[in-house]
Amino acid sequence: MAIIQQTIFIAALGAVAWLISRRVGIIGRTIRLGKEENRTDQPGKRLSIMMRVAFGQKKMFDRPLIGFLHFAVYAGFILINIEVLEIVLDGILGTHRIFAGPLGSFYGVLIGFFELLALGVLISCSIFLIRRSILKVERFQPSRHREMTGWPQLDGKLILVFEIVLMIAILTMNAADSALQDLGSAHYPVAGDFLISQWLKPLFSGWSEGALIAYERIAWWVHILGIFVFAVYLTYSKHLHIALAFPNTYFSRLEPKGEMKNMPEITQEVKIMLGLETQPADAVVPERFGAKDVADLTWKNLMDAYSCTECGRCTAACPANITGKKLSPRKIMMDTRDRLEDVSRNMLANKGKFVNDNKSLLGDYIQEEELLACTTCNACVQECPVLINPLDIILQLRRHKVMDEAHAPGSWNMMFQNLDTNQAPWKFSPGDRFNWASAVTDSGPEGNSTAS
């Protein structure tokens, strides 16, 4: 029987490892479709940002209670996996609590710590589920945000239920294990009662040894197979940010948020027109200005899309969205990821080569009305807990619409013309620009005319 369990476990472990490595490879290839961009400067500063924002969850604590609950889930997820190492070794070797002997009395302390974390995860996930399903936090509601309909809405709740089940499985498994230790069951070495699960032991009072063994084994399998399924599911879910938050914050932009990047080709053209540079002999006209599809974006833009947590903090802070415009920075990131997923499926179906599907990010996923509503205020960039930059994608798509397709609102074209002819957005000559100052000078201290 033990040999059969070991065989099943090793087969499951191998299948999970293959599925995860395959999925990671697909995501990596898809991100590399983006244009090159150097994000390796100032490694010390980048490491500091990653440790504070990704590891330390700094931006989550802008809202202390939610930050604390999120940190409980995050810390639990990271540290409980140390116990998973013991479960994996037990599964491969056919042992039970392999670390109990070598660690002695410290083993009980360690498991007690893991149980405390499990309880924290259980409580936090329950509160998050209540906030989504009963309290109905506004930024998660599909009635207000169309991007949260269907799978995104279900995904957020499903993962919370998943984690609740996993934590219940591990706590009741330990309680049944302790009850079996009390019975002197041969396969269960004495490790003592554990910090949290000891209070669940009364649930198993009166159970026979066979029933306890059956429950403990079922809970053991539910927990470890649940973790295996979660690990695979994570690579398809918004919870991929658990892994990508670290590289995404490390490679985040170091320049001030309000600084927009000029297009090098346009900057060079202006300098040539002003006589500051000469036309290079090897000048190459870019195939496209701005971005129309995901391959026109940078690899960091694409990593941003896969790192999005769908928390909606960006959209909740967006003034355009607040005033009823269609723009939702969260939707911009989700649409970019959806397009990437479609591209990756296309490549898988065509032996690694992308075959034109007559679709593009701009038009088929993100609409012009969304782009035009953006005020470039950077509120979305400021709010993101993992330093995603939706504005960069918006600007690149908008540049393509204006510069390649010559499609801009009439008011914008008037502003462009005024900038060209008057060196200002307003329709008056440069010589009249400071006339307003004369009016201020002629007014009294109360803002009234001195003549009055």
For the segment 241-254, what is each residue's pLDDT rounded down to a tens digit?
A: 999 999 999 999 99
Answer yes or no: is pLDDT of 67 > 50.
yes
Task: Please state the φ and ψ torsions of residue 443, each to the nearest 5 degrees.
Answer: -100, 155
Answer yes or no: is pLDDT of 421 > 90.
no
Q: How confident is the model at residue 122 (pLDDT cuts 50, 70, 90)?
A: very high
In percent, the amount of the chain with pLDDT more than 90 equals 67
* Interatomic CA distance for residues 295 and 354, integer angstroms: 11
For residue 68, the one-letter residue type is F
Angle at 347 between CA 341 and CA 352, to 5 degrees: 135
DSSP string, 303-325: HHHHH-----HHHHH-HHHHTT-
Q: Using an 8 Å Cβ cutoff, are 115 and 223 in contact?
A: no
Answer yes or no: is pLDDT of 452 > 50.
no
Q: Using an 8 Å Cβ cutoff, are 404 and 288 in contact?
A: yes
- What's the mean per-residue pLDDT of the chain? 90
Q: What is the pLDDT of residue 307?
A: 96
Mean pLDDT over residues 160-188, rounded? 92
Q: What is the pLDDT of residue 1?
A: 58
**CA dihedral sign of residues 103, 104, 105, 111:** positive
Q: What is the pLDDT of residue 440?
A: 64
Give the helix/strand (H/E) hosting 165: helix 151-183
Own/partner contacts of 321-325, CB < 8 Å, gap of 24 or more, are 325/369, 325/370, 325/373
Q: How confident is the model at residue 439 (pLDDT cuts 50, 70, 90)?
A: low
* Interatomic CA distance for residues 380 and 388, integer angstroms: 8
275: helix, coil or strand?
coil
DSSP one-letter code for 53: I
DSSP one-letter code for 350: T
Decide which of 414 and 286 is more confident. 414
Angle at 246 between CA 242 and CA 252, to 5 degrees: 125
Of 312, 295, 244, 305, the C-alpha closest to 53 is 244
Answer yes or no: is pLDDT of 197 > 90.
yes
Which sequence spans correspond to the domains of the chain? 38-250, 287-426
Q: Using an 8 Å Cβ cutoff, are 101 and 89 in contact?
A: no
Give the number of other CB atoms < 10 A from CB of residue 134.
7
Q: What is the pLDDT of residue 442?
A: 62
Answer yes or no: is pLDDT of 295 > 90.
yes
Mean pLDDT over residues 25-33, rounded? 95
Instruction: Tell me which of 5-19, 181-195, 383-397 is least confident.
Output: 181-195
Answer yes or no: is pLDDT of 77 > 90.
no
Q: How confident is the model at residue 449 (pLDDT cuts 50, 70, 90)?
A: very low
Instruction: Tell me which of 64-78, 222-236, 271-285, 350-364 is least confident.
Output: 271-285
Strand segments, DSSP code E, in 38-103 are none
In CATH, the number for domain 287-426 is 1.10.1060
Answer yes or no: is pLDDT of 28 > 60.
yes
Helix, strand, coil: what percent of the chain each, to 5?
A: 65, 0, 30
Give the helix/strand (H/E) hosting 227: helix 209-234
DSSP one-letter code for 281: T
Q: What is the pLDDT of residues 310-332, one digit of tens each?
A: 999 999 999 999 999 999 999 99
For the packed helices 64-93 and 151-183, what is the interaxial angle rounded to 10 degrees? 60
